[in-house]
Homo-oligomer: A and B are copies of this chain.
């Protein structure tokens, strides 16, 4: 075993209380005593046990973060914002991934209970009220990109509908009328919202939406390829495609070029997320930028506020929508076609 506070106290000829005071500056300690305690601690290689301390002061200085997968570029940008903000406030981050499985999410929440001062949950496939039973009423929670409905939790979302609208509107403005869309999984909140934006833009422009142009994907490059291949068989073929994320757009781009089509000459393409690679592909991909790091910062800031306030649920739950921004590059501009 490592040395405990009692070992140090005994060896230094003081009480555990005094050792604690030395480590926390929580009360005056005679300079000579302090030195003796620290010397003894060093000799015994004593380091306070964080778990015991947490239990005692009922505070962990840890924020929990439950998300589908930690490594996707988009998520990892959010992590960056969270980490930055949490770190500044002296908090650490306990990350748990769920792979979009409801039971994993429940398990993760239960594991985190009592280990974290606050919780950030990203659950794009499952609604917040399904998770309530695994949430402690005492631990503040903020949701990201999750359907919170009327639940009394803070919610931070990307303005997916606005983004979908912007992307489609941009294609319409380029003169396109036959605009296909490559969707994510149908039960995904982002999918539903971006789709709504797409349809709204079409409706507003007086273009009839055609269900056969709404293809399902899985947010992966492969599913983008598959969707593009199905699009190639349509007659008439769409002249523009809006992919609900950049990975699928990359897949579609490759498939179109493989089939001898010119992008944007034969088919214009817009993605979503504006991940780093978007600017490097050929042609550079137009996309919808989301301030993910900023989202992470804001949600963390809010959570830290709640934690500091000591109240579990906010009096007045937030409903934040982060605006998106259209980034036009060559993949959607006929003028820049080659």
Contacts and interface: CB of A to CB of B under 8 A. Distances in A.
A113 B49 contact: yes
A51 B47 contact: no
Interface in A271-295: 276-277, 280-282
A30 interface: no
A303 to B, nearest CB: 16
A132 to B, nearest CB: 10
Contacts of A97: 83, 87
A96 interface: yes
A243 interface: no
A114 B70 contact: no
Nearest to A137: B45
Given A280-B250, A280-B280, A110 B51 contact: no
As for how many copies of this chain the complex holds, the number is 2
Contacts of A36: none
Contacts of A218: none
A259 interface: no
Contacts of A45: 136-137
A102 interface: no
A65 to B, nearest CB: 9
A47 B113 contact: yes
A95 B110 contact: no
Interface in A87-125: 87, 92-97, 108, 110-115
A192 interface: no
Given A93-B94, A138-B1, A70 B80 contact: yes
A222 interface: no
A21 B309 CA distance: 35
B92 A70 contact: no
A1 B136 CA distance: 10
A43 interface: no
A161 interface: no
Contact of A93 (B53, B83, B95, B110): B95
A71 B73 CA distance: 8
Interface in A14-57: 45, 47-55
A106 B65 CA distance: 23
Nearest to A246: B280
Contact of A111 (B50, B113, B137): B50
A330 to B, nearest CB: 11
Interface of A: 1-2, 45, 47-55, 60-62, 69-71, 73, 76-77, 79-80, 83, 87, 92-97, 108, 110-115, 134, 136-138, 250, 276-277, 280-282
25 contacts: A2-B136, A45-B136, A47-B110, A47-B113, A47-B114, A47-B134, A47-B136, A50-B111, A50-B112, A50-B113, A51-B51, A51-B115, A52-B55, A61-B111, A62-B115, A69-B83, A71-B83, A87-B97, A92-B112, A93-B95, A95-B95, A277-B277, A280-B280, A280-B281, A280-B282
